[in-house]
């Protein structure tokens, strides 16, 4: 009978009051974003038309390692933070591994995922500078739910473009956004120039984060002063906000009397991975610690393991700044996997640089492996994880199984980004044996990258 402590919480006055900006500590700083027309490096003020001023400044801040979390945001963080750090005794037992497995349970946020960590400050900064409307894209809907709620709390109107396949496959998340009061449009739509261009060429286009970003960016750019664009991953300021996860986890691991050997996050644009990793990676950079950091990406959209490091657009239409990133090409159209939140062609600039410099690793994981991991986890720990989070679980299981072979008691920490209670139809398909595996088509990627080189 194991009566050791399972869950670790911080009291409200122990919750970190600053985010960690790894850019300040990086040996090789990320290359600057480029203006898509002039190809010149962009300054914070060049981003003001798109993002809030504060988010724009944070985006390019390579100086300050610690950035204050506004009091208004800290107050709302307290509605769900600290999130528990959990020792996964059930999973360890199910695997028969000597590894110590911990997960940070971000699924307990009111919107069901870590996305709220950045939606709250982004909405707050918009409100603070007098903006009245916010817009964004969403895949599976986790980010859209977070932004819709955050907009409501700060009295802003939210317009969300949701990737069409998710809009149809996952109606519940759309209903959550509508319950919070947001306007939700399936993307590509006929309501923007970018959407029209796509739909007139390809009427059955099911959308991707790239198409939805184009539409949201267009809406913001054509509604000056009043409407700002926000987004849920990729950008450096989003990763910054997500470091609250790792900063809490660092204190909580200390309460558990351990330090991770391996830190794992699933990987779409990189923000949750950054959030759980950077506060620990800091000690690798500054003190020479040897923790391994593993990004778990879907085999069907493997920008880190199969992409190239190159300047690329963040969206399909080419509206966004050019960013130096690992990418499959902005025209890459991923297979219709169930982890909608990971269907993005590129990686954030910070994680891209860190991967290039050897500070982190990446693994690609197929759908069937990740669902198998999700079912095992749900039966062992009770929590049904989002398909996105299942990638991190699958990777944690891989490494726990290696420990079983070697007998090593490694400490593995992964981020449970969200619950899968709104993804049950995906589990249904897996349980009934009708889930397909997709691998990336290498020729598609090459064609995309070649096309990209001609643009640049």
How many chain residues touch a copy of itself (CB under 8 A)? 48
Residue 12 CB, nearest approach to a copy of itself (Å): 5
Contact 198, 163 (CB under 8 A): no
The one among 86, 126, 325, 403 contacting a copy of itself by CB under 8 A: 86
Closest CA to 209 of 277, 301, 146, 113: 301
Q: How far apart are CA 72 and CA 206, in angstroms?
A: 38
Q: How far apart are CA 355 and CA 347, in angstroms?
A: 10
Cis check: omega of the bond before 49, within 30 degrees of 0: no
Residue 42 CB, nearest approach to a copy of itself (Å): 34
Stretch that binds a copy of itself, among 4-12, 53-61, 267-275, 297-305 (CB under 8 A): 4-12
Residue 13 CB, nearest approach to a copy of itself (Å): 8
Closest CA to 399 of 277, 305, 260, 285: 260
Q: How far apart are CA 323 and CA 230, in angstroms?
A: 17
N-term to C-term CA, the chain: 62
Q: Which of residues 106-125 bind a copy of itself (CB under 8 A)?
A: 108-112, 116
Buried b (16+ CB within 10 A) or exposed e, 139-167: bbbbbbbbbbbbbbbbebebbbbbbbbbb
Q: Which two tokens stand for residue 336?
A: 């219709």
CA dihedral over 427, 232, 115, 240, signed as positive or negative: positive
CB nearer a copy of itself, residue 1 or residue 27: 1
Q: Which two tokens stand for residue 109?
A: 């946020």
Per-residue contact track with a copy of itself, 343 to 372, x per CB under 8 A?
------------------------------
Q: Which of residues 415-454 bind a copy of itself (CB under 8 A)?
A: 421-422, 424-425, 427-428, 431
Q: Which of residues 209-268 bind a copy of itself (CB under 8 A)?
A: none
Residue 75 CB, nearest approach to a copy of itself (Å): 6
CB nearer a copy of itself, residue 152 or residue 289: 152
CB nearer a copy of itself, residue 40 or residue 379: 379
Q: Which of residues 179-198 bind a copy of itself (CB under 8 A)?
A: 179-181
Q: Is residue 79 a contact residue for a copy of itself (CB under 8 A)? A: yes
Interface residues toward a copy of itself, by CB under 8 A: 1-3, 5-7, 9, 12, 71-72, 74-75, 78-80, 86, 90, 108-112, 116, 149, 152-153, 171-172, 175-176, 178-181, 375, 378-379, 381-384, 421-422, 424-425, 427-428, 431
């Amino acid at each position: 009978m194991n009566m050791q402590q399972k869950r670790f919480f911080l009291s409200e006055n122990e919750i970190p009051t600053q985010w960690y900006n790894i850019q300040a500590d990086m040996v090789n700083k990320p290359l600057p974003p480029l203006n898509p027309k002039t190809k010149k490096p962009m300054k914070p003020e060049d981003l003001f038309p798109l993002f809030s001023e504060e988010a724009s400044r944070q985006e390019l801040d390579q100086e300050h390692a610690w950035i204050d979390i506004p009091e208004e945001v800290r107050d709302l963080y307290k509605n769900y933070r600290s999130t528990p750090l959990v020792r996964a005794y059930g999973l360890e037992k199910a695997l028969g591994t000597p590894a110590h497995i911990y997960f940070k349970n971000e699924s307990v946020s009111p919107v069901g995922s870590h996305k709220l960590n950045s939606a709250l400050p982004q909405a707050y900064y918009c409100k603070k500078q007098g903006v009245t409307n916010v817009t964004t894209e969403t895949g599976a809907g986790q980010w859209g739910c977070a932004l819709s709620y955050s907009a409501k709390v700060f009295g802003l109107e939210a317009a969300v473009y949701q990737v069409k396949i998710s809009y149809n496959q996952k109606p519940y998340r759309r209903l959550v956004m509508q319950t919070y009061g947001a306007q939700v449009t399936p993307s590509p739509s006929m309501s923007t120039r970018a959407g029209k261009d796509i739909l007139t060429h390809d009427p059955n286009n099911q959308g991707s984060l790239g198409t939805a970003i184009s539409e949201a960016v267009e809406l913001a750019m054509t509604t000056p002063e009043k409407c700002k664009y926000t987004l849920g991953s990729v950008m450096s300021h989003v990763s910054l906000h997500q470091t609250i996860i790792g900063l809490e986890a660092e204190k909580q691991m200390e309460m558990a009397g351990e330090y991770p050997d391996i830190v794992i996050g699933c990987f779409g644009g990189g923000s949750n991975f950054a959030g759980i990793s950077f506060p620990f990676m800091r000690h690798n950079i500054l003190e020479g610690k040897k923790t391994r950091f593993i990004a778990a990406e879907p085999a069907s959209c493997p920008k880190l393991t199969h992409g190239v490091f190159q300047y690329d657009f963040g969206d399909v239409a080419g509206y966004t700044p050019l960013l130096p990133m690992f990418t499959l090409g902005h025209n890459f159209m991923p297979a219709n996997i169930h982890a909608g939140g990971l269907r993005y062609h590129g990686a954030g600039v910070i994680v891209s640089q860190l991967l290039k410099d050897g500070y982190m690793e990446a693994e690609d994981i197929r759908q069937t492996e990740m669902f198998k991991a999700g079912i095992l986890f749900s039966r062992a720990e009770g929590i049904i994880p989002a398909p996105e989070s299942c990638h991190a679980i699958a990777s944690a299981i891989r490494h726990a199984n290696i420990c079983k072979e070697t007998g090593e008691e490694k400490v593995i920490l992964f981020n449970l980004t969200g619950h899968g209670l709104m993804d049950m139809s995906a589990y249904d398909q897996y349980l009934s044996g009708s889930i397909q595996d997709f691998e990336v088509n290498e020729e598609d990627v090459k064609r995309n990258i070649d096309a990209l080189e001609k643009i640049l």
